[in-house]
Structure 1
Amino acid sequence: MSFIIREGIKKDASSIFNLIVELAIFEKEPDAVKITLETLITDGFADNPKFKTFVAEELDGTIIGMVLFYERYSTWKGKTIHLEDLMVTETKRGIGAGKKLYGSVMKYAQKNNFKRVAWEVLDWNKNAVDFYKKTGATVYNQWRVCHMNEDNLTQFCNENI
C-alpha cells in the first residue's frame, strides 16, 4: 500500500476542496459546488467543526482521496452518521484507497457507538452500488432523496410563513 489513511486536518482543506469539485464533475454537476475553500475551513477545521474527514495520503504527502461525514440523529435508531462524500481522484482509483476510506468511517462509527451510517448513491454509479452491496450495506430503491435548495426555501417561507 503506497498510501495511508489519517484524519483530515486544516492543511488538507485545499486538497479536500479540489476533490469535492472533482466529485461534482464526476456526478455531472460541475456547477453545483457553491461553498468556498474558506467556508470549508471555517465549517470543518475551526472550533466546533460541523464535519469530520479522513484522507488518503500518498507517502510523498499528496492527498488522493477523502471521505467527509457528520453526526446526525435518527428518531428510530439514535446517534447516526451521515457519510456525505467519498472520493478518490480518478488517476488513483482501483488501488484500494476508497475501500480504506469507507472502512475508516465504519470503524469510527463502531468504535463510537453509532447505530447506523447512511448515505446516498446515484443509481447510475454501478461500481459504487455494487461495492456497497458487497460490504453488506442495504441499498434502498423505494426511498427517495428530497432537497429544498436555498431559492426554494426562500420562496416557501415567503409564501407560507
Structure 2
Amino acid sequence: MQITIRNSRKEDMPQVYKLINELAIFEKEPDAVIITIKDLEDDGFGKIPQFHCFVAEIDSKIVGLALVYNRYSTWKGRAIHLEDLIVSDAMRGKGIGSKLLDKVVKYGYELGVKRISWEVLDWNEPAITFYEKNGANVMRDWNVVQLNEKAIINYISKL
C-alpha cells in the first residue's frame, strides 16, 4: 500500500468534504457541518487562501487530510493551527495519521513557526495517546472558548 501525502488541489475538495462529514459523525455532530464544497474551493484556493490542506492518497483516493491555517501568538509569535487531522475510519491504524502529522510539523518548521496548536476531544483517548506519543502537550487545564454564528449575532445585537 503506497501512501502519498501531498498538497491538496481544488479538485480534491469533494473528497475532503466527504472526510469532514465523516469526522462530524465520529464526533457525534452529524448535522454541524454547514460549509459547502464551494466554500472549501473558494476559501482554500481564492486570492487569499484561508487554509492549507494536505491530503493522504492511496490509489488516487483521498483517505486522510490535515488542514492548517496561520495564527499569531502574543507570547510566541508566528504559529499555525491544525484545524483537523482526519483519517477515514476504514484506514485508521495504518500510519496515515503519523504521515500527515509529520507533514504538518515539517510545514510549520519550514514556515519558522514557534508553535503548532490544535484541540482534541477529551473522550478521544486514541487521538490523545497518539498526540502525546508524538511529543504534543495535551493541556487539560485549558478550555476551548467559542462564539458560534448565532452567538456572534446575539453579541452584536447588544452593542
Give TM-score scaled by structure 2 length: 0.98
Matched residue SS, 1:12: helix
Partners of 2:7 and 2:150 lie apart in 1 by 34
Q: Tell me the residue number matched to 2:157.
A: 158
Percent identity of paired positions between Structure 1 and Structure 2: 50
Is the counterpart of residue 40 in structure 1 residue 40 in structure 2? Answer: yes
For this pair of structures, how many residues does the alignment match? 159
Which stretches in structure 1 are left out of the alignment for 5+ residues? none
Partner of 1:124: 123
Greater shift, 41-50 or 123-132, is seen at 41-50
1:112 partner amino acid: L
Q: Over aligned residue pairs, what C-alpha RMSD do you find? A: 0.8
- Between the aligned partners of 1:8 and 1:70, the Cα distance in structure 2 is 14
Q: Please show how residues 34-73 of structure 1 align to structure 2 within 5 Å.
A: 34-58=34-58, 60-73=59-72
Q: Which runs of 4+ in 1 moved over 4 A?
A: none
**Paired residue for 2:86?**
87
CA distance in 2, matches of 1:23, 1:51: 18
Taking the aligned partners of 2:45 and 2:94, their CA distance within structure 1 comes to: 28
**Where does residue 29 of structure 2 map in the other structure?**
29
Cα distance between partner residues in 2 of 1:46 and 1:93? 32
Deviations 1:78-129 (A, max 9, x none): 0000000010111111111111001100011111100000000001000000
Unaligned stretches of 5+ residues in structure 2: none
Query: How does the TM-score come out when normalised to structure 1?
Result: 0.97
